């Protein structure tokens, strides 16, 4: 899925709190706020300021810390501003000064002339870099929308999928009643962060924590069960596919056959759960979550059971000839 267009104005408009806050404000170059950020990375333009522009990463956000600021003041005091002019000859997305540093007036004049936004933050360079890279990584992460319900069960994110009417929402509602949490119903947006972590959330924040129950209508989970019954986002760690019971299909009864589902290039453990009257699917999902946690701790119930059975068979096979010879006397 293509990444949405993300501008400098979008960066300024991000509603981020506490440890995610960037504390950004625009100093000049406001007519360039619609410039698009295309690469989720930063560049420290120290070499460019010294006049070396080979392989200059001008497509990235340009970050000015105390070192770059000291060098700027030096070349401005010496009247060597050609490199600053050459810097702004490139279509930079924006320039950001950390530590509440005030850029030289000549830099601000050149930025205003070419329409390059110059931003300022109170954060230090290392902290700002880590926050911005984390935010840009999430924004530029590949994403996909899947029809299903995402719930958190015993700390694990379970994506309940299946055909319409199979009972996904009813299963999730029973899990919420049992103290687990809803992340999203009906349409789940999944993004791949850091190349191997799938984060799921509601595709629409307005209706994300509402559920449609056939015969009952739309219900508000937050108001019915409280804020402790919902989450904004959760890692997808198990896919539970609900399907109508098929008498002709052979279902795994031991659990040694590990199925997976490929989502954005990440393999996620998958369970195929047949649904029919009398089967308590919520309890099955609770057990699946606890079993998956045991697997992450190195304990695989199905494999251990299989090994115990093999040892028992080998033991009986070794005893049979002995008892057979004894019976012959």
Cross-strand pairs, 149:
160
Quick one: pLDDT at residue 1? 44
- Of 5, 25, 147, 178, the catalytic one is 147
91 or 248: which carries more pLDDT confidence? 91
Quick one: pLDDT at residue 31? 93
* Annotation says 23 is catalytic: no
- CB contact set of 242 (below 8 Å; sequence gap of 6+): 160, 161, 162, 166, 167, 168, 171, 273, 275, 281
* Annotation says 168 is catalytic: yes
Specify the range with the lowest mean pLDDT, choosing from 6-10, 55-59, 290-294, 310-314: 310-314
* Annotation says 316 is catalytic: no
> Alpha-carbon distance 161 to 158, whole Å?
9
Quick one: pLDDT at residue 205? 75
Residue pLDDT, tens place only, 200-239: 998 877 777 888 888 888 889 988 999 999 999 999 999 9
- CB contact set of 295 (below 8 Å; sequence gap of 6+): none
Residue pLDDT, tens place only, 154-167: 999 999 998 888 88
Quick one: pLDDT at residue 304? 64
φ and ψ at 109, to 5 degrees?
-65, -45
* Annotation says 25 is catalytic: no
Residue 106 has pLDDT above 90, yes or no: yes
143-298 classified as CATH 3.40.50.280: no
Residue 318 has pLDDT above 60, yes or no: no
Quick one: pLDDT at residue 329? 46
Quick one: pLDDT at residue 2? 44
* Burial grade of 323 (CB within 10 A; 0-12, 13-18, 19 or more): exposed
Angle between helices 168-177 and 281-296 (to 10 degrees): 70
Quick one: pLDDT at residue 320? 60
Which bin fits 283, alpha (ψ -120 to 50), beta or left (φ > 0)? alpha
Task: Determine the distance from the C-alpha atom of residue 291 to the mean position of all C-alpha atoms in its chain, rounded to a whole number.
Answer: 23
Q: pTM above 0.85?
A: no
In the chain, % of residues over pLDDT 70: 87
- Of 35, 60, 143, 168, the catalytic one is 168
Structure tokens at 248: 């002709």
Quick one: pLDDT at residue 79? 86
DSSP β-ladder status, 149-153 and 197-202: unpaired
Q: Contact 39/59 with Cβ under 8 angstroms?
A: yes
The average pLDDT across 54-71 equals 94
The average pLDDT across 147-176 equals 91
Residue 288 has pLDDT above 70, yes or no: yes
Residue pLDDT, tens place only, 239-255: 999 988 877 777 666 56
Quick one: pLDDT at residue 181? 94
Quick one: pLDDT at residue 240? 92
Where exactly are the structural domains of the chain? 8-139, 143-298
- Of 60, 180, 185, 186, the catalytic one is 186
Top CATH class, 8-139: alpha beta
Quick one: pLDDT at residue 195? 81
Mean pLDDT of the chain: 86
- Of 19, 253, 262, 327, the catalytic one is 253
Quick one: pLDDT at residue 251? 65
């Amino acid at each position: 899925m293509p990444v949405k267009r993300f501008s400098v104005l979008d960066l300024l408009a991000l509603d981020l709190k506490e440890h995610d806050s960037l504390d950004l404000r625009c100093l000049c170059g406001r007519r360039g706020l619609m410039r698009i950020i295309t690469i989720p990375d930063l560049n420290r333009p120290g070499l460019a300021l010294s006049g070396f522009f080979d392989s200059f990463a001008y497509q990235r956000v340009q970050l000015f810390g105390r070192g770059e600021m000291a060098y700027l003041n030096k070349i401005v005091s010496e009247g060597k501003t050609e490199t600053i002019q050459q810097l702004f000859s490139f279509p930079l997305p924006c320039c950001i000064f950390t530590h509440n540093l005030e850029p030289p007036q000549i830099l601000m004049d050149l930025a205003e002339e070419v329409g390059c936004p110059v931003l300022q933050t109170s954060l230090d360079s290392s902290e700002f870099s880590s926050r911005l890279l984390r935010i840009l990584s999430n924004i530029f992460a590949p994403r996909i929308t899947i029809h299903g319900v995402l719930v958190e069960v015993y700390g694990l994110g379970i994506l309940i999928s299946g055909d319409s009417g199979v009972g996904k929402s009813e299963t999730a509602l029973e899990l919420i009643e049992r103290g687990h949490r809803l992340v999203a119903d009906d349409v789940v947006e999944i993004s791949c962060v850091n190349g191997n972590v799938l984060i799921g959330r509601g595709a629409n924040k307005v209706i994300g924590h509402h559920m449609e129950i056939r015969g009952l209508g739309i219900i508000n989970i937050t108001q019915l069960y409280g804020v402790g019954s919902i989450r904004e986002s959760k890692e997808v760690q198990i896919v539970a596919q609900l399907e109508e019971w098929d008498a002709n299909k052979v279902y795994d009864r031991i659990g040694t056959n590990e199925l997976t589902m490929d989502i954005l290039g990440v393999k996620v453990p998958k369970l195929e759960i047949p649904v029919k009257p009398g089967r308590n699917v919520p309890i099955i999902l609770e057990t699946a979550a606890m079993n998956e946690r045991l697997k992450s701790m190195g304990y695989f119930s199905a494999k251990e059971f299989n090994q115990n059975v093999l040892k028992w068979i080998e033991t009986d096979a070794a005893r049979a000839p002995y008892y057979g010879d004894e019976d012959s006397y």
